[in-house]
Amino acid sequence: MMNASVDGAPAVAARVLGLCLLVIVLDGFDMLVIALTAPAIAADWGLPAARLGPLFAAGIVGMIGGSVLIAPLGDRWGRVRLLMLCCALFGVFAGITALASGYGALLALRLLTGLGLGGAVPNATALIAEHAPSRQRPLWVSIGLVGFALGGMLCAALAVPLLPRFGWRALYLVGGVLPLLLIPLLGRYLPPTAVVRVTLAEPRGGLRRLLEPRFGADTRRLWLGFFVNMMVMFFLANWVPFLAGQAGFSAHQGSLAALALNLGGVVGPLLLAALCRSFDARRVIGSAFVLAALSLAAVGYATGSFAAYVTAAALAGFFVFGAQIALHALAAAAYPTALRATGIGWALGCGRVGSVFGPLAGGALLRSGVPLQQYFVGFGMALLLAAAATFTLSARVTGADQDI
């Protein structure tokens, strides 16, 4: 099949990467804002810690729906229109969240915001993959998906000055306005016709085609890898700031720990993607999952020193976020153009089912009184399943040199 990137000059490809990166930055901002604002919301409304888990999970449930219901429409209607629609969805509902007056309204708004967030990333990833130079595809996809961690960093950085002065609602207002401002730029500067033209030449099939013999074994392994790692990733993203308090650190230090976690999540994918250019991507990412398991255990035991806690959080972000983002490159390489948004969308949907369990399990473990160290170790051990799934992907799924 013809590579869609031939439709655009290098300048067009770079523009696609830059704009899709911005979409994913804002996606990460609006996904992770609940983690940074949860302590302030709990204090404002008198919520116990156990009620924070559903707030974390609501957005993820919405993202599951967006991944499996909205994202595949990009294979039929075109990626750009879907990106614009998704930015409108999560921008509007994130902005309205600034007006939420109660727990039930906040739950509903997080769910609706998640629908737009879930549809955006698969189509942005597919666009980047289709316009990237073939040998640099894993690196380009990883650069784009680093936007999720950059969005978390941006949110954490803004939380430090905005939360004490303006309250938690200000962060939702920022997260609502920025995606809406981005929409006209997407419509003007992204090439809408290249993907549509290639897609129309391909048969449709959706989920059934993902599970046919050509793709089925790799599809199931990708789903397992996404499920386990996103469970762990969202456990970390949502609970590291709160658990810093449980470890005896201040709320300000909790924000700094979240910043360190996301900083590791920015650096990790880029280095892993560079390694994937020289070595088998399956081996690189599988090894990263093993190191992620070790770094997660380190977070649980690094409670006596804030410097140790921040360092361990940064390492966890490096390997957990890095492996997850690199796994997207494998998913993009596993499917042909006409099936790519559907394949990535379903992999992300499975991952986000796992990511619902991460925040909820964190709340349940807090209620159970299980020592902090034990459930960090337990989540780390689960990552070994993702490592096994990645190591056993077929040789054709390398993240590079695929004819897409």
Q: Kindly provide the b/e burial profile for residues 57-92, where b requires at least 16 CB atoms within 10 angstroms of the residue's own CB.
A: bbbbbbbbbbbbebbbbbbeebbbbbbbbbbebbbb
**Averaged over 388-401, what is the pLDDT?**
76
At residue 289 the predicted structure's pLDDT band, cuts being 50, 70 and 90, is: very high
Query: Which of 116-125, 126-135, 216-225, 383-392 is the least confident region?
Result: 126-135
pLDDT at 26: 95
The tokens of 78 are what?
């075109």
CB contact at 8 A, 194 and 72: no
Residue 33 pLDDT exceeds 70: yes
Residue 235 CB partners (closer than 8 Å, separation 6+): 358, 359, 361, 362, 379
**Averaged over 371-387, what is the pLDDT?**
86
pLDDT, the chain, mean: 83
Top mean-pLDDT range of 9-18, 22-31, 226-235, 325-334: 22-31
Q: How far apart are CA 272 and CA 189, in angstroms?
A: 30
Q: How far apart are CA 33 and CA 38, in angstroms?
A: 8
pLDDT at 248: 78
74-114 per-position pLDDT tens digit: 878 888 999 999 999 999 999 999 999 899 999 999 999 99
Of 155 and 396, the one with more pLDDT: 155
User: Which residue in 159, 331, 162 sits closest to 255, CA to CA?
Assistant: 159
Residue 8 pLDDT exceeds 60: no
pLDDT at 202: 44
Give long-range contacts, CB 8 A cutoff, 24+ apart: 163-168: 163/36, 163/37, 163/40, 167/40, 167/44, 168/37, 168/40, 168/41, 168/44
Q: How far apart are CA 87 and CA 386, in angstroms?
A: 31
Structural domains for the chain: 4-391 (1.20.1250.20)
160 φ, ψ (degrees, to nearest 5): -60, -50
Residue 286 CB partners (closer than 8 Å, separation 6+): 387, 388, 390, 391
Residue 403 pLDDT exceeds 60: no
- Written as one string, the DSSP assignment of 33-77 is HHHHHHHHHHHHHT--GGGHHHHHHHHHHHHHHIIIIIGGGHHHH
- Measure CA 310 to chain center: 21
User: Which residue in 274, 371, 373 sits closest to 329, CA to CA?
Assistant: 274
Residue 166 CB partners (closer than 8 Å, separation 6+): none
CB contact at 8 A, 139 and 123: no
CB contact at 8 A, 49 and 366: yes
186-199 per-position pLDDT tens digit: 999 988 654 444 45
pLDDT at 288: 93
332-365 per-position pLDDT tens digit: 778 887 787 788 888 878 887 887 777 677 777 7
At residue 1 the predicted structure's pLDDT band, cuts being 50, 70 and 90, is: very low
Instruction: Compute CA distances 362 → 100, 172, 198, 343, whole Å.
Output: 25, 24, 44, 29
pLDDT at 117: 93
Q: How far apart are CA 52 and CA 184, in angstroms?
A: 35
CB contact at 8 A, 339 and 210: yes
pLDDT at 205: 55
pLDDT at 192: 65
CB contact at 8 A, 143 and 17: yes
